[in-house]
Amino acid sequence: MKIAVLTRDFSPKAGGAEHYAMSLVEGLSARHEVHVFAQTIEHHWPGVHYHRIRQPFARPRFLNQWWYAWATWRQTRFGFDIVHAHENTWHGNVQTVHVLPVWIHYFALKPQRAQFLRQWCGARAREKILTALKWLNVLLSPRLMSYLWLEHSRLKQGGRHVSRHITSVSASLTEQLLGCFPLEPQRVHTLMPAVLGPLAWWRQAQERAHAVSPNPWLEVLLPSTLVGAHDVDTATAEFSSEFLISPALKARARLALGLELRLGLELELGGAAHQPISQWLLWVGHDDKKKGLSAIIQALANLAPTVGLMVVGRGALSASAKALAVKEGVASRVAWLGPMEDVSPAYWACDVLVHPTLEDTFGMVVLEAMSWARAVVVSAPEFCGITGHLTHAQEAWVLDDPTDVPALAQALTLTLEESRGRALATQAHAWAQAHTWQRVCEAQEAVYRAVLSQACVSAPLGQGAGHG
């Protein structure tokens, strides 16, 4: 098949949706001709064709979304068997939904605040008035109108789009889409993200060892028996959960990340007393407010002074988060690592991944940490999609309320206990092993075949189905 993949940011420094698209491209390119249409291209995979889309509108963002949709429509109207969009576009015969649509946020989930109407009208009248006010706001907001129109256009399955299939990244998101949009259930699929895993990570690093940009962590994060080795067949046994959990590996990763050096600099600047950090928590994300970074910083103040926190992603650039760390008296125990092209060293250096997110349709970082055999503390299913597939106190520690700081602190105290943390990490690793990108790619190919089969049936004799 000749496949066009639409994603604005094709970069390992981007979020979970972008990582999902990149992993699919890597897997599918082994058997298909894959073309990537992106505005940012910072990940180059052998055999993949790249097409850079200009970005004349950096702000406002909705104008850039329109431009990207129009530009990719022009370039992919003809010549492709599959146009797979990971963005809000009106075209594409496969659409992958990564986040909760604005429509659901605004009309289904937005809290009803109209106390002033209670004394004047009943509940039904109040609901109608509030809905009318929301629509008025939409009509007065080009941004909202754009996103709502693009969302509904990408989720159309009738007319010219009779062969369009929709995929979502979690069962809970699929359920919400079916409940709020006129979709045909047989053409809506849940394709949960997978994970690269330590063994696949090592194999790729070996293959690219002599490339232009080899992986600098290749020898730091390997079993000592494999340093300098090229025998792939002997690696599987070496990457056991016992090795991944070993203190020696954590120590090497921490040294390579310069964690003590970073904290030493903090101490020189702040002059606070400091005890050696023996256990590390990890938070990964770009949106510090939505992903619950403030709750972790407050919980850190209630933990032993030997517990530190690594902050990875653009959330590490948050001035408010850094100010809160100072206010809580834990600034000397926080390592602000920032965006990382390869987050693997941070996973290997930590003891527990903490993800008290307020909204995540899946939660890719949780699965990634589990694949590195790390205990995870994560929000309940109504906040994080992956948790609906996990069992509390077995594969993960589940938080009923991610904003409850005392409960979060208690959960972290328990998971940092050696025996409990080891048990959680071992079961997490076993669960993650069953979720590979090879399986996701095979499921995605089945969706592609269904699209092409329906396109052949629905297209008039002598005409192509098209993707517009």
Evaluate if residue 109 carries a pLDDT over 70: no
**Mean pLDDT of the region 150-159:** 90
**Mean pLDDT of the region 60-80:** 94
Sign of CA dihedral 436, 439, 445, 447: negative
User: Which residue, among 106, 130, 108, has the nearest Cα to 118 in the 3D structure?
Assistant: 130
At residue 223, the 3 state secondary structure works out as: coil
**Mean pLDDT of the region 322-349:** 93
The C-alpha torsion from 244 through 245 and 250 to 251, rounded to 10°, is -120
pLDDT band at 56; cut points 50, 70, 90:
confident
Q: What percent of the chain has pLDDT over 90?
A: 56
Higher pLDDT, 273 or 365: 365
Evaluate if residue 152 carries a pLDDT over 90: yes
Q: What local confidence, expressed as pLDDT, does residue 463 receive?
A: 42
Identify the burial level of 67 via C-beta atoms within 10 angstroms of its C-beta, where 0-12 means exposed, 13-18 middle and 19 or more buried.
middle
Higher pLDDT, 212 or 241: 241
Higher pLDDT, 19 or 260: 19
Determine which of 84-98, 204-218, 280-294, 365-379 has the lowest per-residue pLDDT on average: 204-218
Mean pLDDT, the chain, as a whole number?
Answer: 86
Evaluate if residue 268 carries a pLDDT over 60: no
Q: What local confidence, expressed as pLDDT, does residue 108 receive?
A: 74
HSE of 420 in the Cβ direction (CA atoms, 13 Å)?
A: 14
Query: Tens digit of pLDDT for each residue in 174-202?
Result: 988 999 999 999 999 999 988 878 887 77
Evaluate if residue 166 carries a pLDDT over 90: yes
Q: What local confidence, expressed as pLDDT, does residue 270 receive?
A: 52
pTM of the model: 0.74
Query: Do 155 and 173 meet the contact criterion of CB atoms below 8 Å apart?
Result: no
Query: Tens digit of pLDDT for each residue in 374-431?
Result: 999 999 998 998 998 899 999 999 999 999 999 999 999 999 999 999 999 999 999 9
Evaluate if residue 40 carries a pLDDT over 80: yes
318 Cβ contact partners less than 8 Å away, ≥ 6 residues apart? 288, 293
Distance of alpha carbon 413 from the chain centroid: 26
One-letter identity of residue 134: K
User: Which residue, among 126, 177, 459, has the nearest Cα to 467 in the 3D structure?
Assistant: 459
Higher pLDDT, 459 or 183: 183
Query: Tens digit of pLDDT for each residue in 298-330?
Result: 999 999 999 999 999 999 999 999 999 999 999
**Mean pLDDT of the region 319-344:** 93
What single string gives the DSSP state of each residue in 57-74? --SSHHHHHHHHHHHHHH
Tally: H helices and E strands in the chain: 18, 15
Sign of CA dihedral 5, 11, 13, 19: positive
Query: Do 307 and 375 meet the contact criterion of CB atoms below 8 Å apart?
Result: no
Q: What local confidence, expressed as pLDDT, does residue 262 receive?
A: 58
pLDDT band at 44; cut points 50, 70, 90:
confident
pLDDT band at 211; cut points 50, 70, 90:
low
Q: What local confidence, expressed as pLDDT, does residue 342 receive?
A: 85
Domains and CATH numbers, the chain: 2-107+146-194+437-458 (3.40.50.2000), 240-433 (3.40.50.2000)
Evaluate if residue 216 carries a pLDDT over 80: no
Round to whole Å and give the CA distance between 9 and 22.
10
